[in-house]
A = this chain, B = another copy of it.
Amino acid sequence: MNKQITLAARPVGNPLPSDFSLEETPIPVPQEGEVLVKTLYLSLDPAMRGWMNDSRSYIKPVQIGEVFRAGTAGVVVESQSPDFKVGDYVTGGWGVQQYGVCLPNTLVKVDTKLAPLPVYLGVLGMPGMTAYFGILDTGQPKAGETVVVSGAAGAVGGVVGQIAKLMGCRVVGLAGGKDKCDYCVNEMGFDACIDYKTEDVKQALREACPKGIDVYFDNVGGEILDIVLGQIRFKARIVICGAISQYNNTEGVKGPTNYLSLLVNRARMEGIVVFDNAANYGKAAKEMAGWMMEGKLKSKIHIEKGIENFHASLMKLFKGENFGKLVLQVGEE
């Protein structure tokens, strides 16, 4: 049988276990041209919270009763396509289920000798692409500038910070907890990392960024965005990648009250969505794989297990309990 997680109800505030339903259906049979893939890992992403809402966004909402959308990695177990053979490792987006029938053009073959499979949901997947294009194309960091990134120990933030270091910037992270901050500084080479749970962020940021902030890559929104806006420099760039602090906010999103700092500093705030760069994923993945080989780009994966634990595992993102790219292992080879 094929276990699936479907959306049972649209959450208000924090998603509840009852907003999802575990279904069992027969393992589907691939038709001519199709491929049956066994899911090994699912990507758990903050963006999933947005897909639960019935509102206009950059992608269609998941419908009630539909298998929940997810980035996926797995192994081909049956193929009716000449492009794939049994045993091929692939990534795609066949959702939160143990097996998926896919069209070849929705799958990407990956090389697990180059990097472990979950890395293709992290640095070499959507989070890595988000970081790469967001910081380089929109953040436009220049050597000597100060770059601040929130969610610094997360899947996107860690890559953003390491790429900014490669560009010659001073990099300051914001993360929750001493372990994460130590990891950013000691393993990923950040110049500093502020523990937003225990430190006075305003003061700590001022000390870590004595010249002010040139680029801010924002994954969290809320109070921290406002504090950063108060410390930006002339012609600063603020990349809006996400706002995880606001996604479950039932009182409406907190807008940045310091937004007029954009005027004072002739600064720019710009939103990004990774899909716009699809044509250039290959080039970016190649460059990042190169950095990984050279030891210049590190990647941490946080693995949870069992499709039954989808909801509980996802909630770790919103509680800040993940450490590195969060994936759910739902199958064994």
Instruction: Please list the residues of chain A having a beta carbon within 8 angstroms of any beta carbon in chain B.
Output: 56-58, 221, 226, 240-243, 246, 252-273, 276
Contact = CB atoms under 8 A, between A and B. Distances in A.
Contact of A240 (B246, B253, B259, B276): B259
B276 A263 contact: no
B269 A268 contact: yes
Nearest to A269: B269
A264 B57 contact: yes
Contact of A252 (B56, B257, B270, B273): B257
A258 B253 contact: yes
Contacts of A258: 253, 255
Contacts of A56: 264
Q: How many copies does the complex hold?
A: 2
Nearest to A241: B263
B273 A266 contact: yes
A257 B259 contact: no
B276 A260 contact: no
A233 to B, nearest CB: 12
Contacts of A261: 271
A58 B272 CA distance: 28
A266 B271 contact: yes
- Give me the 9 closest cross-chain CB pairs, A-B, nearest first: A255-B255, A263-B271, A262-B271, A255-B257, A268-B270, A255-B256, A269-B269, A240-B263, A253-B257
A253 B255 CA distance: 10
Contacts of A260: 221, 240, 243, 246, 253, 271
A58 B271 contact: no
11 contacts: A58-B264, A58-B265, A226-B255, A241-B263, A242-B263, A243-B263, A254-B255, A261-B271, A264-B273, A267-B271, A268-B269
A172 to B, nearest CB: 21
Contacts of A240: 259-260, 262-263
Contacts of A221: 260
A293 to B, nearest CB: 32
